[in-house]
Amino acid sequence: MSTTGKIPDEAELRQRLGDERYHIVREEGTERAFTGKYWDHHGAGMYRCAVCGEPLFQSGAKFESGTGWPSFTEPASAGAVGTKSDDRLAMQRTEVHCERCGAHLGHVFPDGPGPTGLRYCVNSASLDFDPQTGSK
């Protein structure tokens, strides 16, 4: 999806995304490291929410974290990504989600490079890439 669109109902979303992607965006799953479509992707453009098409991360904010997931220093805009506390794995983490539709994206950690010092560690399955948007 290349532009922000309507948020599909759950049945339509499950059919469009398939079981694995649906599990990640709606049931807060995680893809295996080094298996996602965008972990080693280097194109210029915009990474958008796989559910609603909202612009989430510009390619200029992507960096090589060595973790096996796409990693970004900052969202495309201040209101694009929301956060909530996640303590499901007996550790305190901060989950990130699309602020518009609530799709689970991944987690943010305070061990990234400048300028923010943050690492938004995102599942490829929660993203679509739009090469036409340009980069930062």
At residue 136, the pLDDT reads: 45
At residue 30, the pLDDT reads: 94
Q: Could you report the average pLDDT of every consecutive run of 10 residues in the chain (136 residues)?
A: 67 93 95 96 96 96 96 96 76 88 96 94 97 59
Reported residue count of the chain is 136
Which residues are identified as catalytic?
Answer: 121
In whole angstroms, give the CA distance from residue 50 to residue 130. Answer: 11
Answer yes or no: CATH 2.170.150.20 is held by domain 10-130: yes
- Contact status, residue 105 vs residue 81, Cβ threshold 8 Å: yes
In whole angstroms, give the CA distance from residue 91 to residue 109. Answer: 12
* Residues whose CB falls within 8 Å of the CB of residue 42, separated by 6 or more in sequence, listed in order: 59, 62
The residue among 73, 35, 43, 49 whose CA lies nearest residue 1 is 49
At residue 133, the pLDDT reads: 52
- Contact status, residue 62 vs residue 120, Cβ threshold 8 Å: no
At residue 6, the pLDDT reads: 75
